Structure formats: structure tokens, C-alpha cells
Amino acid sequence: MPVVKYPRAAEPLWHEWDGKAQKCGLRHTVYAVNGDQYTGEWLDNLKHGKGTQIWKHTGAIYSGDWKFGKRDGYGSYSIPDPVTKEYKKVYTGWWKNNKKCGYGTMFYPSGESYEGEWSGGLRSGWGRMCYGDGSVYEGQWLADQHGGQGMLCLPNKNRYEGGWKDGKKHGPGQFFYLDKGQLLEGIWVADIPKCGIMIDFGRDEAPAPTRYPIPKV
């Protein structure tokens, strides 16, 4: 019995072209339609592994880890100075799902800096913030604000140690007036001390002590 052989259907050319266009593994610089460029590793046509992205509109650059098209892992983000055009670090640390997450250091345009933990792109956990006026906060953060237990040291060395909520002093705490040699220990609500006791503390070493010591009860 004769065997009839039918010709195999030819695969459309676009299938072959599409397969060659799929990016996988290490590639040289790939340019997007909007002018952004990426150099690094790919997986299934997505940025995955080590790579560097440059955004044309802002000139910003990210160099580090990627997972399935998003910044994920360890990496640094920098932007060019508008005057000198030199790159300045903005953030160095850990990322997850395109947002700062884990431990990292942030440098702000005003000269302020934060080093500590992040979650979902916000300061959350333990961290240390150095402010432009010389103040330093070290302690717990929640949703980008002081929240939990922490210490705020002012430029004149006076400091507050205690509870915080929504970025304000809240709960039991101590305020050390080292310039006057006094200590206020009490309860704060929304940055305002509601009750407490004031005692002399290091009065002999204070640069500007009160005229009279606080009498003992």
C-alpha cells in the first residue's frame, strides 16, 4: 500500500524572528523606545541578574541586581548634579520589587542622610537620621516617621530619649537639658510634656546652669 507523505507546514518567519529577538543571558546595551538604556543580564525577555539602567529623561543611573524586570537585591541609585553633571549617590542598599527594602543608606539633596532599615520604599525599623541643622535621631521608624523608641540629639547636645509616635514625642521619656544641667522625666503626648518631674542633672558641668538649684522634696 503506497504511503502518502504530506509536506510539513513551513513555520512563519515571524516565529523565527521573534525567537531571536527574545533577550536571555548577558547582552550589550539595549535601548528602549523612550531612549532609556540597559546593559546586563536578561531572562525570558526581562532584566534579570546584574545590570545597569540609565534613564534618558533624568539621567539617573541604577547599577545592581534585577529580578524579572524590577530592581531587586543590592544596588545603587545615582543622579547627575545639575551644575557639575557629576553623578551623586542617592541610595545604596537593598531593594525589593523596585522599592527600597532592607538595609540601606540614603543621601538627600539638602545634605541630610539616613542609614538604616527600609520597607516598601519607606524608612521602617531601626535607623539613624542626620538632619541639616545638626540634629541626629537614632532609633525606631515606622512608615517614614519616628515611631517606637528612639533618641533625638539636638545641636546644643540637649537630647530626648523615649517613645515616639507619628514623628512626635509620645509616651514615657526623658529630656536632658545639658546646657542648664536639668532633666525632665515624664509623659509626652504629641510632642507636648503632659506631666513629669524636673531634677538637677550634671548642673556643675553645665555651660549655662540655672541660678538656683531645684530644691529637694
Instruction: For residue 107, give every residue at least 6 positions away whose Cβ sits within 8 Å of its Cβ, in sequence order, or none.
Output: 88, 89, 90, 91, 113
Share of the chain above pLDDT 90, in %: 72
Here the contacts of 44-48 (C-beta below 8 Å, separation 24 or greater) are none
Give the residue extent of every domain in the chain: 21-107, 125-216
Phi then psi for residue 200, to 5 deg, are -75, 140
Residues 1-27 have a mean pLDDT of 61
Residue 14, pLDDT score: 43
How far CA 212 is from CA of 41, 176, 177, 204, 207, in Å, comes to: 71, 18, 15, 12, 14
Residue 178, pLDDT score: 93
Give the position of cell 529637694: 216
pLDDT tens, residue by residue, 37-87: 999 999 988 999 999 999 999 999 999 999 999 999 999 999 999 888 899
The pTM assigned to this predicted structure is 0.84
What's CA 75's distance to the chain center, in Å? 12
Q: For the purposes of burial, counting CB atoms within 10 Å of the CB of 138, is it exposed (0-12), middle (13-18) or buried (19 or more)?
A: middle
Report, at the CATH architecture level, how domain 125-216 is classified: Single Sheet (2.20)
Report, at the CATH architecture level, how domain 21-107 is classified: Single Sheet (2.20)
